[in-house]
C-alpha cells in the first residue's frame, strides 16, 4: 500500500498534536484535583481561627505542651467545643465496604457512622516545634494544610489539617464538570490543529508535485517549463536547481540542433562543389586538366580537414582528448610552429614581432603535437584575418605557476559582442566571409579544447595593436628563473 508524503506529514502532525493535548489535559486534571483539595483544606483551616488562638493560649499558660500530653482528653474536649459551635468542618466520611455475603443476600450496606467524636479527630494533628506529634492522628498528613503556632513571636508548634478527599456530590460534580470541559477543549484543539496541519502539508507537497511534473516534462524532452522561485527555504533551492537543470538541458538541446544543422551545412558545401565540378567534367563543360583536378583536390582536403575536426571534437566530448604529455620548453614549440609561416607572412606583407626570450625559463607538461596544433591554428587565424601590411606580435608572461603566451595582431578587430562566441563551434565573426577565408568555424573550438585538456585556458580580448589578442595560459612545472639566474 502506497502512502503519500502528504498523508505521512498529516498523520505525524495530528498524532503529535493529539498526544500533546491529551498530556496537557491529564496534567491539568491532576493538578486541578490536587490543587482544589489543598484549597479546601487551607480554607477549612483558615476558618478555624479560634483553634490556633486557643492552642497558643494553652501553650502560653504552661510554657509547653505538657497539658495536652498529661491530659489525653483535653485535645478531644477542645475539638468537641469547636464542633459544637460548628467551627470545625466534618472529616471526610469513609463508608465501610459492603461484605460479600451482604451483597449476595441483597442486604443494604450499613449507614455511615453518625457525626460524633470518632469523626472529629482523625483529620487534625498537632506537632511541637521539633515536629513531634502532640495530639491527633499522624496518618496521611503528607499533603495536609499547615498553620504555624506562635507565642511571643516564637514558633512553638504546627497545626495540620488533612486534605479533603471530595466525598460530597457537589465536589464530585465540580470535578466532573471540569473533566468534561477539558475533554471538550481537547477535542476542539484536535479539530483546530487539523487546519494548520492541512495548510502545512499543502505548503510542502504542492512544490514537490510541481517538481515531479516538470521532471516528467524533462524526461519527455520538453525543456521550456520552469518552476516558480519565490521560496527561500530548501525546497526553493531544489526548485531553482531543477530550473537550472532545465535551462542547461534546453541549451544543450539547442546546441545539439545547431550542431547538427551546422555540421550538415558544412559537409554539404564541399560535397556540392565536388559534385558540380565532377558533373561539369562529365558534361564536357570543364576538362579534367591539372587545374580542375587541383580544385577537386583542394575541396577533398577541405572536406577531410572538416571531418577530422568533427571527429576530434566528438572524441573530446565523449571520452576526452588523448594526450601524451612530457616536460618540454613551450618556446621551442612556438619557434617550430613559426617556421612554416614565413611564406604566408611574406605573402601578406605581415611583420612578425617576437618578444619572447631566447632562453627557456620554464617548462610545462604538454603533448608537443597537440600544442603545435593549437599554436598553428592561432597563427593561421592571425595570418588569415590581419589586413595586408599589418603586424603580429608574440609576448610571454610568467607568474608563480603559469606560463602565458599572448598573440596580438593588428586590425581588423572583432566586435565586443562577438568575443564571448569566438570559441563556439561553427561561429564566424563575419557572416559574409567565405569559407575559403573563414575556414570551418571549428578551429578555435579545438584550440580551447586542447588548452583545457592541458589544464590551461584560452581566451580572447581586444588587442592594443587594433586587432585581436589570443591569450594561452598553461600551468608550469617550476617557478620562473629571475634574470640574474639566467
Q: Are strands 351-354 and 391-398 parallel, antiparallel or unpaired?
A: parallel
* Sign of the torsion angle spanned by Cα atoms 237, 238, 243, 245: positive
22: how many CB neighbours lie within 10 A of its CB? 13
| CA dist., res. 298 & res. 274, Å (int) | 10
- Interacting residues of 101 by C-beta distance below 8 A, sequence separation 6+: none
Average pLDDT score over residue span 378-390: 87
Q: Residue 405: which of 370, 446, 451 has the closest Cα? A: 451
Average pLDDT score over residue span 197-215: 83
| CA dist., res. 278 & res. 284, Å (int) | 10
Residue 353 has pLDDT above 80, yes or no: yes
Q: With pLDDT > 90 as the criterion, what percentage of the chain qualifies?
A: 4
Domain ranges of the chain: 241-318, 326-485
- Out of 111-115, 131-135, 161-165, 365-369, least confident range: 111-115
- Out of 151-165, 199-213, 463-477, least confident range: 151-165
Max intra-chain CA distance, the chain: 155
Question: H or E segment at 283?
Answer: helix 234-283
- Out of 126-130, 243-247, 299-303, least confident range: 299-303
Average pLDDT score over residue span 322-343: 85
Q: According to the model, what pLDDT value does residue 199 have?
A: 81
Supply the pTM of this predicted model: 0.48
- Cβ atoms 390, 350 nearer than 8 A: yes
Q: According to the model, what pLDDT value does residue 433 have?
A: 38
Distance of CA 298 to the CA centre of its chain: 59
Helix (H, G, I), strand (E, B) or coil at 89: coil
Sole residue written with cell 470518632 = 118
What are the tens digits of pLDDT across the range 154-193?
A: 888 888 776 555 455 666 677 777 778 777 877 787 788 7
The mean pLDDT value of the chain amounts to 76
Q: According to the model, what pLDDT value does residue 486 have?
A: 37
Helix (H, G, I), strand (E, B) or coil at 222: coil
The DSSP string of 423-450 is TSTT--S-TTS-HHHH--S-HHHHHHHH
Q: Are strands 124-128 and 154-161 parallel, antiparallel or unpaired?
A: antiparallel
Architecture of the domain whose range is 326-485: 2-Layer Sandwich (3.30)
The tally of CA atoms less than 13 A away on the side-chain side of residue 387 is 9
CATH topology of domain 241-318: Helix Hairpins (1.10.287)
Q: What is the CA radius of gyration of the chain?
A: 52
Q: Residue 382: which of 374, 396, 392 has the closest Cα? A: 392
Average pLDDT score over residue span 318-341: 82
Confidence of residue 419 (pLDDT cuts 50, 70, 90): confident
- Out of 36-40, 97-101, 187-191, 261-265, least confident range: 97-101
Q: According to the model, what pLDDT value does residue 277 have?
A: 81
CA dihedral 347, 349, 355, 357 (to 10 degrees): 30
Q: According to the model, what pLDDT value does residue 163 have?
A: 57
Confidence of residue 457 (pLDDT cuts 50, 70, 90): very high
| CA dist., res. 437 & res. 428, Å (int) | 11
- Interacting residues of 328 by C-beta distance below 8 A, sequence separation 6+: 363, 364, 365, 366, 368, 371
Q: According to the model, what pLDDT value does residue 170 have?
A: 61
Average pLDDT score over residue span 240-265: 80
What are the tens digits of pLDDT across the range 41-96?
A: 666 656 666 778 888 888 888 888 888 887 878 888 887 776 665 445 555 554 45
Q: According to the model, what pLDDT value does residue 43 have?
A: 64
Residue 476 has pLDDT above 80, yes or no: yes
| CA dist., res. 46 & res. 50, Å (int) | 10
Q: Residue 391: which of 354, 336, 422 has the closest Cα? A: 354
- Cβ atoms 422, 398 nearer than 8 A: no
Confidence of residue 109 (pLDDT cuts 50, 70, 90): low
| CA dist., res. 300 & res. 273, Å (int) | 10
Question: H or E segment at 307?
Answer: helix 290-318
Amino acid at each position: 500500500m502506497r502512502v503519500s508524503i502528504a498523508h505521512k506529514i498529516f498523520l505525524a502532525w495530528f498524532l503529535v498534536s493529539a498526544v500533546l493535548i491529551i498530556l496537557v489535559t491529564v496534567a491539568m486534571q491532576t493538578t486541578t484535583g490536587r490543587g482544589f483539595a489543598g484549597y479546601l483544606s487551607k480554607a477549612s483551616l483558615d476558618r478555624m481561627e479560634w483553634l490556633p488562638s486557643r492552642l497558643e493560649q494553652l501553650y502560653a499558660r504552661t510554657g509547653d505542651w505538657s497539658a495536652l500530653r498529661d491530659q489525653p482528653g483535653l485535645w478531644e474536649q477542645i475539638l468537641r467545643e469547636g464542633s459544637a459551635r460548628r467551627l470545625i468542618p466534618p472529616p471526610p466520611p469513609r463508608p465501610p465496604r459492603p461484605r460479600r455475603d451482604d451483597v449476595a443476600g441483597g442486604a443494604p450496606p450499613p449507614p455511615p457512622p453518625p457525626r460524633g467524636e470518632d469523626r472529629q479527630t482523625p483529620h487534625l494533628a498537632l506537632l511541637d516545634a521539633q515536629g513531634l506529634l502532640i495530639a491527633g492522628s499522624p496518618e496521611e498528613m503528607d499533603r495536609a494544610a499547615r498553620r504555624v503556632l506562635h507565642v511571643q513571636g516564637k514558633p512553638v508548634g504546627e497545626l495540620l489539617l488533612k486534605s479533603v478527599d471530595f466525598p460530597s456530590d457537589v465536589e464530585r460534580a465540580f470535578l466532573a464538570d471540569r473533566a468534561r470541559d477539558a475533554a471538550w477543549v481537547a477535542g476542539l484543539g484536535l479539530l483546530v490543529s487539523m487546519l494548520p496541519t492541512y495548510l502545512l502539508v499543502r505548503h510542502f507537497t504542492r512544490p514537490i508535485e510541481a517538481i515531479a511534473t516538470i521532471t516528467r516534462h524533462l524526461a519527455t524532452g520538453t525543456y521550456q517549463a520552469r518552476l516558480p522561485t519565490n521560496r527561500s527555504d530548501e525546497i526553493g533551492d531544489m526548485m531553482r536547481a531543477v530550473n537550472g537543470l532545465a535551462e542547461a538541458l534546453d541549451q544543450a538541446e539547442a546546441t545539439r540542433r545547431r550542431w547538427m544543422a551546422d555540421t550538415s551545412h558544412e559537409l554539404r558545401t564541399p560535397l556540392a562543389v565536388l559534385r558540380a565540378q565532377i558533373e561539369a567534367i562529365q558534361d564536357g563543360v570543364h576538362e579534367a586538366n591539372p587545374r580542375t583536378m587541383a580544385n577537386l583536390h583542394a575541396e577533398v582536403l577541405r572536406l577531410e580537414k572538416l571531418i577530422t575536426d568533427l571527429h576530434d571534437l566528438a572524441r573530446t566530448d565523449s571520452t576526452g582528448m588523448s594526450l601524451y604529455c612530457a616536460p618540454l620548453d613551450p618556446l621551442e614549440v612556438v619557434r617550430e610552429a613559426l617556421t612554416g609561416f614565413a611564406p604566408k607572412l611574406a605573402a601578406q606583407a605581415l611583420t612578425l614581432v617576437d618578444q619572447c626570450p631566447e632562453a627557456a625559463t620554464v617548462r610545462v607538461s604538454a603533448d608537443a603535437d597537440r600544442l603545435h596544433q593549437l599554436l598553428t591554428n592561432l597563427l593561421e587565424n592571425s595570418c588569415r584575418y590581419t589586413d595586408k601590411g599589418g603586424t603580429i606580435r608574440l609576448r610571454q608572461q610568467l607568474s608563480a605557476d603559469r606560463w602565458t603566451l599572448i598573440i596580438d595582431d593588428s586590425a581588423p578587430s572583432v566586435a565586443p559582442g562577438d568575443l564571448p562566441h569566438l570559441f563556439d563551434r561553427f561561429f564566424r565573426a563575419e557572416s559574409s566571409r567565405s569559407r575559403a577565408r573563414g575556414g570551418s568555424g571549428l578551429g578555435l573550438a579545438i584550440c580551447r579544447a586542447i588548452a583545457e585538456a592541458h589544464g590551461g585556458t584560452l581566451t580572447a580580448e581586444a588587442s592594443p595593436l587594433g586587432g585581436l589578442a589570443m591569450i594561452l595560459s598553461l600551468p608550469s612545472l617550476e617557478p620562473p628563473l629571475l634574470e640574474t639566474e639566467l
